[in-house]
Amino acid sequence: MYVESPRYTERFGSVRINDIQKVIALDSGLKTEIPPHGAMGVVKICEDTIKKFEEKLAVVVPVKNEKLKLFEGVISGIPHDCLIIVVSNSHREPVDRFRMERDALNQMCRYTYRQAYIVHQKDSFVAEAIKKAGYDELLDEDGLVRDGKAEGMVIGLLMAKLAEKEYIGFVDADNYSPGSILEYVRIYAAAFSMGKSPYVMVRILWHYKPKFSGGTYFKKWGRVSETTNRCFNSLISSRTGFETNIIKTGNAGEHAMSLKLAELLPYASGYAVEPQELVSIFEQFGGSLPSGPDDVVRHGLDLFQIETRNPHLHEEKGTEHLNGMLLDGLSTIYHSPLCDRETKQLIISQLTAQKTLKSKKELPAPHINRPPSQVDIREFARHMDSRLETYSALHEE
Ligand code: GDP
Ligand code: CO
* DSSP calls for 180-220: HHHHHHHHHHHHHHH-SSS-EEEEEE-S-EEEEESEEEEE-
pLDDT digits (tens, 9 = 90+) for 319-342: 888 899 999 999 999 999 999 999
Query: Domain extents for the chain?
Result: 2-391
Helix (H/G/I), strand (E/B), else coil: 39: helix
Distance between Cα 216 and ligand 1 center (Å): 25
Which pLDDT does position 316 carry in this prediction? 79
- pTM, two decimals, is 0.96
Q: For the ranges 66-70, 186-190, 214-218, 275-279, which has the lowest average pLDDT?
A: 214-218
Ligand nearest, relative to CA of residue 253: 1
Does residue 126's CB lie within 6 angstroms of at least one atom of ligand 1?
no
Which pLDDT does position 41 carry in this prediction? 87
Residue 354, judged by CB atoms within 10 A of its CB (0-12, 13-18, 19+), counts as: middle
> 2-391: what fold?
Spore Coat Polysaccharide Biosynthesis Protein SpsA; Chain A (3.90.550)
Distance between Cα 287 and ligand 1 center (Å): 33
Does residue 326's CB lie within 6 angstroms of at least one atom of ligand 1?
no
- Local confidence band at 164 (pLDDT 50, 70, 90 cut-offs): very high
Which pLDDT does position 211 carry in this prediction? 77
Tell me: cis bond preceding 94? Omega within 30 of 0 counts. yes
Under DSSP, the state recorded for 174 is -
On the CB side of 118, how many CA atoms lie within 13 Å of its CA? 24
121 CA closest ligand 1 atom index: 26
Helix (H/G/I), strand (E/B), else coil: 121: coil
Instruction: Provide, rounded to the nearest whole percent, the portion of the chain with pLDDT above 90.
Output: 81
Residue 324, judged by CB atoms within 10 A of its CB (0-12, 13-18, 19+), counts as: middle
- Local confidence band at 373 (pLDDT 50, 70, 90 cut-offs): very high
Does residue 209's CB lie within 6 angstroms of at least one atom of ligand 1?
no
Q: For the ranges 31-35, 51-55, 121-125, which has the lowest average pLDDT?
A: 31-35
